[in-house]
Amino acid sequence: MHVSFKDITKCYGNQKAVDGVTLEIAKNGVTGLLGPNGAGKSTMMKLALGYIHAETGRIEIGGLDVTQEGLAVRERTGYLPEHNPLYLDMYVRESLHFTASLHGLRGEKRTQRIKAVIEETGLGAESHKQIHALSKGYRQRVGLAQALIHEPELLILDEPTTGLDPLQLEDIRALIRRLGEQATVILSTHIMQEVEAVCDRVVILSKGRIVEDAAAADLIGSGGLEHAFRQAVQ
């Protein structure tokens, strides 16, 4: 699903969290928003979802104006926030059943989607447990499963591999790569290895502005990714 940011500015008080950003993201593939903490990555994602609104500019997702048609946008979007909100007293399957119902899934379709996302996210062995009994990494998987349950055309992932051990990390990165073949994926990270592992394109942000926008393979191959990131954090 095509995503378009046109001259977007968002302020918190006197601070510009996003400063005149224009960005076009084509359908499908994985785009990484890379930058230090405070660069504007999470703000960009919240703006795209319509959770907050910009002072200037226009955001369109799949041809829909986010400000005017936010609900329609969110129906087609899956979101995993940085601080993954979960009902800790729910069981994993119960939580996915609840989330699927919110998206209007019923009957066999709901059953099949729950089964599919449990398998995709590697939750099978933990799916009978209450969420409070899960490790941080498995809680992150539950959040990702919830984001996937309705088969969104756009998937927005804010620091998606937080808390994962090395084996879990590879599994989730492989899943994100596969998802990018059938959906538009935008993920934020401050970890260069994450970009190298999963992204087709990298957009580097610093102080709310885009300082680099290129194919990930071009930057990685030339050694420019590390250089561009170091420039951003200075």
Encode pLDDT of 44-54 as tens digits. Answer: 999 999 999 99
The confidence band for 233, taking pLDDT boundaries of 50, 70 and 90, is: low
Amino acid 6: pLDDT: 96
pLDDT value at 222 more than 70 = no
Instruction: Using alpha carbons, select from 231, 226, 202, 229 the residue that is nearest to residue 215.
Output: 202
Amino acid 103: pLDDT: 93
Domains assigned to the chain? 3-76+152-233 (3.40.50.300), 85-151 (no CATH)
Report whether 176 contacts 168 (CB < 8 A). no
User: What integer is the mean pLDDT of 116-134?
Assistant: 94
The confidence band for 157, taking pLDDT boundaries of 50, 70 and 90, is: very high
13-22, 39-48, 164-173: range with lowest mean pLDDT: 164-173
Choose between 30 and 27: higher pLDDT: 30
Report whether 195 contacts 216 (CB < 8 A). yes
